[in-house]
Structure 1
Amino acid sequence: MIQLQNVSKTFVTGKNKIEALNDVSLEIQKGEIFGVIGYSGAGKSTLIRCVNLLEHPTSGYVFVDGTDIGGLGSNDLRKLRRKIGMIFQGYNLLETANVYDNIAIPLKLAGVPKKVIKERAAKYLEIVGLQDRSQAFPSQLSGGQKQRVAIARALAHEPEVLLSDEATSALDPATTDSILELLLKVNRELGITIFLITHELNVIQRICDRVAVMEKGRIIEQGSVVDIFTKPREPLTKQFVRNESRFKIPDPLLKELLSTGELVNLTFLGESAKDPALATLARKFDVLPSIIAGGIDQLKDQSIGNLLVHLKGETGKIRDAVDFLQSEHIIVEEVIG
């Protein structure tokens, strides 16, 4: 659906050059939710704005549904942009217009008939759960409601792709959850491809199918959310995952545990979560496992279990126990003080 091939973008300010994107390539499949994560300054916003040519790449190619959009004339580009909706962190609503008009005015400017505008506004306000707020003004809405209006406005053009530029970063956790559920609903019920950027890993894990990690204008790692979450390769990716899903242990307790055995993070996925592997260790290997902490990460379509476990026993037997856990398709990561 969307392909970026060797895309670079350089901004020139006076005598300075800022390389915002450096040889970025990725592909987003039709109907999926694809996320890009990275810290501020990584180039995420520039990347997503290249998809609809709000930013023109310095070099490289952007294809949307097989069309090289860099070669389009202004009229064809305008038509293509109607297939690409976009929502922003700041909502971008007209403060002097009510909810209905915020949706209707862009459609009117695009030449959509009045009857169709009325039908679409009603349809998409119902989808976002604001059918009773059509006459309210933005100043009368909460942040979450404003973002729902912005989503309805984007959907009213009936796009094939929805771009989300940090759409939840200004919202509280509960409101963020509701907006993520809405985006899932839009993707599943309307079949719209969603491309989002964020610095929040919980957004990626909740709704994305695949993810790319950006650092200093480059894609440093990409893959399925499950693979990135359970087998991160790059230091930055590991930092994101560990900050979100690993357990923090006070130093005195960590030293005590490491002095009396080994400490391991265990990740359970799919069938590995159903087998009583830890119960086998004491009986089969004479290794005593003690669960220090545990939790579950909910991804879009499945759960990942995490346990912090202390293994007490002879070194050789602990090694055999770890080998056994790995043979049971449990991901084992040793904790080092």
Structure 2
Amino acid sequence: MIKISNLSKTFQAKKGTIEALRDVSLEVKKGEIFGVIGYSGAGKSTLIRSVNLLEKPTSGTVSIDGTDITSLSKGELLKARRKIGMIFQGFNLLKTATVYDNIAIPLKLTGVPKEEIDERVNRYLNIVGLADKVDAYPAQLSGGQKQRVAIARALAHEPEVLLSDEATSALDPDTTDAILDLLLKINQELGITILLITHEMHVIQRICDGVAVMENGEIVEQGTTLDVFTSPKHLTTQKFVNSIFNHQLSNDLIDTLRNTGEIISLKFIDHSSQEPALAVVAKKFDVYPNILSGNITQLKSQPFGSLLVHFKGEENEVQKAIHYLQNQGIQTDEVIKHGNNKRIS
């Protein structure tokens, strides 16, 4: 659906050339929710603005549903953009216009008939849950309601693709979850492909099918959300994942435990997160599992758990227990072995 190939973007500044994007390539499948995550300055805003050519790339191509939009004329690009909706962090609503007019005015400018405008405005306000705010002004709305109006405005053009530029970063946690649920509903019920950028791993975890991690204008890792969560390879990716599962232990505790067994990181995926594997291990082998930290969360529709466990016992018994867990579909990583001085970071 969206294919970005070898995209680069440079800016000229007083201090020299700034490379905002460096040979970026990724694909988003039709009907997918795909997230791009990175810290401030990673280049993700430039990337998403390049998808609809609000920012013209220096080199590379962007194709939407097989059409290379980087090669279109000005008039052709204007038509193509009508199928690419966009929502922003700052809402971008007209302060002196009602909710109705904030959605209707852009439709009027594109030549949509009045009767159809009225039907679309009411339909999409109903979808976003604001049918009762049709005559309200932005100043009378909460941040979450303003973002819902912005989403309805984007949907009113009936796009095939929806771009989200940090759409939840200005919202409180509860409102963020409500907006994410709305985006998931839009994706599932309307079949709209969504590409979003964010600096919050919670957003990726909650609704995304796939994810790309950006740093210094480059994609350093990408894959399905499940693969990236369970086996993060790049240091930046590991930092993001650790922000969800923080397994830091004090050095004093590590010194106490390392001579009596091993500390193992366990990752439970899907059905394996529901099995009492540690209880079984304690009965089958001469080891005593002690959970030091952990969490079970949801990756869109899949449960995913991460535990840090101390296995007290002789090394050969601990290894038998680890092999058993692996055979149950549980991913295991040795963090501290018997007598090992390695620290958990």
Q: TM-score range by the shorter chain?
A: over 0.9
Instruction: Map 1:82-101 to 2 at 5 A.
Output: 82-101=82-101
Q: Which amino acid aligns with 1:214?
A: M
Which residue does the alignment assign to 1:35?
35
Q: Does 1:281 align with 2:281?
A: yes
d(CA) in 1 for partners of 2:243, 2:132:
40
Q: Deviations over 1:297-323 (max 9, x none)?
A: 111111102222110001222122212
Which residue does the alignment assign to 1:63?
63
Which residue does the alignment assign to 1:118?
118
Q: Which amino acid aligns with 2:286?
A: D
d(CA) in 2 for partners of 1:249, 1:172:
29
d(CA) in 1 for partners of 2:15, 2:267:
50
Contact 2:245–2:294 (8 Å) recurs in 1: no
Q: Secondary structure at the match of 1:187?
A: helix
Q: Which stretch of structure 1 is more off in the superposition, 272-281 or 67-76?
A: 272-281
Task: Report deviation, 1:227.
Answer: 0.6
After the TM superposition, which segments of 4 or more aligned residues of structure 1 sit over 4 Å from their partners?
Answer: none
d(CA) in 2 for partners of 1:300, 1:283:
34
Contact 1:261–1:312 (8 Å) recurs in 2: yes
Q: Which amino acid aligns with 2:44?
A: K
Q: Does 1:216 align with 2:216?
A: yes
Q: Which amino acid aligns with 1:150?
A: A
Q: Does 1:105 align with 2:100?
A: no
Which residue does the alignment assign to 1:316?
316
Contact 2:273–2:303 (8 Å) recurs in 1: no
Task: Report deviation, 1:46.
Answer: 0.4
Q: Deviations over 1:178-197 (max 9, x none)?
A: 00000000000000000000
Q: Does 1:268 align with 2:258?
A: no
Equivalenced residue count is: 337
Q: Does 1:10 align with 2:10?
A: yes
Task: Report deviation, 1:331.
Answer: 1.1
Q: Secondary structure at the match of 2:95?
A: coil
Which residue does the alignment assign to 1:187?
187
For normalisation by structure 1, the TM-score amounts to 0.97
d(CA) in 2 for partners of 1:294, 1:11:
44
Q: Secondary structure at the match of 1:335?
A: strand
d(CA) in 2 for partners of 1:271, 1:166:
32
d(CA) in 2 for partners of 1:216, 1:320:
43
Q: Which amino acid aligns with 1:88?
A: F
Task: Report deviation, 1:15.
Answer: 5.2
Contact 1:23–1:218 (8 Å) recurs in 2: yes
d(CA) in 2 for partners of 1:250, 1:123:
55
Contact 2:163–2:194 (8 Å) recurs in 1: yes
Which residue does the alignment assign to 1:302?
302
Q: Which stretch of structure 1 is more off in the superposition, 187-196 or 282-291?
A: 282-291
For normalisation by structure 2, the TM-score amounts to 0.95
Task: Report deviation, 1:98.
Answer: 1.0
d(CA) in 2 for partners of 1:204, 1:166:
12
d(CA) in 1 for partners of 2:83, 2:22:
27
Instruction: Map 1:139-178 to 2 at 5 A.
Output: 139-178=139-178
Q: Deviations over 1:119-159 (max 9, x none)?
A: 10000000001110111111111100000000000000000
Q: Secondary structure at the match of 1:22?
A: strand
Contact 2:5–2:26 (8 Å) recurs in 1: yes
d(CA) in 1 for partners of 2:273, 2:34:
27
d(CA) in 2 for partners of 1:284, 1:165:
51
d(CA) in 1 for partners of 2:31, 2:193:
4
d(CA) in 1 for partners of 2:259, 2:43:
44
d(CA) in 2 for partners of 1:290, 1:14:
57
d(CA) in 2 for partners of 1:100, 1:189:
23
d(CA) in 2 for partners of 1:334, 1:128:
47
**Structure 2: gaps of 5 or more residues:** 337-342
Q: Deviations over 1:274-332 (max 9, x none)?
A: 43322232333311112233321111111102222110001222122212212221111
Q: Percent identity?
A: 64
Which residue does the alignment assign to 1:202?
202
d(CA) in 2 for partners of 1:330, 1:262:
17
Which residue does the alignment assign to 1:138?
138
Contact 2:291–2:310 (8 Å) recurs in 1: yes
Q: Which amino acid aligns with 1:83?
A: K
Task: Report deviation, 1:253.
Answer: 2.9
